[in-house]
């Protein structure tokens, strides 16, 4: 058992208030002492806020695992220590430690934290009053529905394919680097600018324009991510990427000979040590028991972007259908929800309304600012 550090905003728990657990996934950095106070601004004064960065940041685990680089790296041990079952067990241990065995929590997760939220719900959902899932990565759902979240190649204009493919063939050793650039670009460029920015980056790749590519690597934090992968954070990042990508790759990868999928290929590269163990049957394939969600009484608010490059919006429709008391907001937006966050107070009002309850006047009123962004199929 490893001691888990909890970041409690304000330093104490008021038993009269709802308690919100903010869940990180091992590669999210807003759950740290300098960042946690902003959640007080979002949620207001009458709640307890607890940040759980996760065991991937625990010094005791880092000391046990050592360096993730080199032939001595024990990825089998890393998987045993850092798989989602361990992370979700930690969340429930923290709940009991802070609140007692019978008290329910409000749970908040974004992207990979959203994946862990649903994994927690599948194992401990009876201990949840309400859940907030934002742009959650849901690879088991994607695989079950035979979807493909990475639509990069299918959406790329033919002339850009013709410019990009020869560069991939001519410089195969740079394929992962190019994938990282194009994948990371989605985090930094808003939807209204993405088409042109992507076209410019593809032309730089086609012409092997090192000045542009070097600047893009810095601007999109590709270099920073690479450094993290070689440090203590690399253990948790690679395990989580394995859980994200293994179900998707199980559908096959024959497309690589004729297509380029940056999101999938970046995750596959990160997960290689674990994928090799899975191929040798030394670790299990990731699994999420969705059937356990069907009878939960907790309220669940699911928010996603129609144009998310990480998680297909149809996965979110599917997961929402597993919960008895869920509400789904599909926004005309991307994975970062740039458009939503650009509307002053819109996200904050919805989050406060979520805490009050999905049937509360506060929640219904909060939807007014968000309503113009709700996506509807035409």
Instruction: Please tell me the predicted confidence (pLDDT) of residue 377.
Output: 85
Residue 313 domain flag: yes
Q: 105 with 156, same domain?
A: no
pLDDT in tens, 269-295: 999 999 999 999 999 999 889 999 999
Residue 284 domain flag: no
Q: 158 with 134, same domain?
A: no
pLDDT in tens, 62-107: 899 999 988 899 999 999 999 999 999 999 999 999 999 999 999 9
Q: 224 with 195, same domain?
A: yes
Q: Tell me which long-range contacts 230-233 makes (C-beta under 8 A, separation of at least 24).
A: 230/68, 230/69, 231/68, 232/62, 232/65, 232/68, 233/26, 233/27, 233/56, 233/57
Decide: 112 and 27 in contact? Cβ < 8 Å: yes
Round to whole Å and give the CA distance between 163 and 276.
33
For residue 121, what is the domain's CATH number? 3.40.50.1820
Task: Out of 163-172, 219-228, 350-359, pick the least confident.
Answer: 219-228
Residue 92 domain flag: yes
Residue 378 domain flag: no
Burial class (CB in 10 A: 0-12, 13-18, 19+), 71: exposed
Can you give the pTM of this predicted structure?
A: 0.95
Instruction: Please tell me the predicted confidence (pLDDT) of residue 5.
Output: 85
Instruction: Please tell me the predicted confidence (pLDDT) of residue 69.
Output: 87
Is the per-residue pLDDT at 2 higher than 70?
no
Round to whole Å and give the CA distance between 229 and 26.
11
Is the per-residue pLDDT at 303 higher than 90?
yes
Q: 260 with 356, same domain?
A: no
Q: 191 with 244, same domain?
A: yes
Residue 231 domain flag: yes
Is the per-residue pLDDT at 1 higher than 60?
no
Instruction: Please tell me the predicted confidence (pLDDT) of residue 285.
Output: 94
Instruction: Please tell me the predicted confidence (pLDDT) of residue 349.
Output: 97
Q: 175 with 57, same domain?
A: no
**What domain range includes position 159?**
151-279
Round to whole Å and give the CA distance between 28 and 224.
13
Residue 285 domain flag: no
- If one counts the domains in the chain, the total is 2
Domain boundary among 229, 247, 279: 279
Q: 17 with 116, same domain?
A: yes
Instruction: Please tell me the predicted confidence (pLDDT) of residue 79.
Output: 97
Task: Return the percentage of the chain with pLDDT > 90, whole number.
Answer: 86
Q: How confident is the model at residue 378 (pLDDT cuts 50, 70, 90)?
A: confident
Domain boundary among 255, 279, 303: 279
């Amino acid at each position: 058992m490893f001691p888990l550090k909890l970041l409690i905003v304000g330093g104490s728990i008021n038993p009269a208030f709802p308690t919100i657990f903010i869940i990180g996934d091992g590669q999210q950095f807003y759950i740290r002492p300098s960042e946690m106070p902003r959640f007080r601004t979002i949620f207001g004064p009458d709640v307890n806020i607890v940040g759980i960065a996760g065991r991937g940041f625990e010094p005791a685990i880092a000391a046990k695992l050592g360096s993730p680089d080199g032939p001595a790296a024990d990825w089998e041990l890393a998987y045993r220590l850092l798989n989602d079952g361990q992370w979700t067990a930690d969340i429930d241990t923290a709940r009991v430690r802070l609140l007692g065995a019978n008290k329910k929590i409000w749970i908040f997760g974004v992207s990979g934290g959203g994946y862990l939220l649903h994994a927690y719900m599948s194992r401990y959902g009876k201990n949840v009053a309400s859940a907030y899932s934002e742009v959650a990565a849901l690879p088991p759902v994607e695989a079950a529905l035979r979807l493909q979240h990475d639509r990069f190649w299918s959406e790329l204009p033919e002339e850009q394919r013709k410019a990009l493919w020869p560069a991939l063939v001519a410089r195969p050793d740079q394929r992962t680097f190019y994938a990282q650039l194009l994948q990371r670009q989605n985090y930094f460029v808003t939807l209204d600018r993405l088409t042109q920015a992507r076209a410019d980056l593809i032309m730089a790749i086609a012409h092997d324009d090192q000045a542009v590519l070097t600047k893009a690597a810095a601007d999109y934090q590709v270099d920073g991510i690479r450094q993290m992968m070689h440090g203590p954070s690399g253990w948790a990042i690679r395990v989580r990427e394995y859980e994200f990508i293994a179900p998707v790759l199980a559908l096959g990868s024959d497309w690589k000979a004729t297509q380029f999928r940056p999101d999938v290929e970046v995750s596959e590269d990160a997960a290689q040590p674990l994928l090799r163990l899975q191929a040798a049957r030394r670790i299990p394939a990731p699994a999420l028991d969705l059937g356990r969600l069907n009878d939960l009484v907790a309220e669940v608010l699911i928010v996603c972007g129609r144009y998310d490059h990480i998680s297909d919006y149809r996965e979110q429709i599917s997961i929402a259908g597993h919960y008895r008391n869920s509400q789904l907001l599909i926004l005309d937006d991307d994975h970062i929800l740039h458009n939503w966050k650009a509307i002053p107070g819109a996200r904050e009002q919805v989050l406060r309304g979520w805490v009050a309850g999905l049937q509360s006047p506060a929640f219904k009123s909060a939807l007014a600012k968000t309503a113009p962004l709700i996506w509807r199929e035409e």
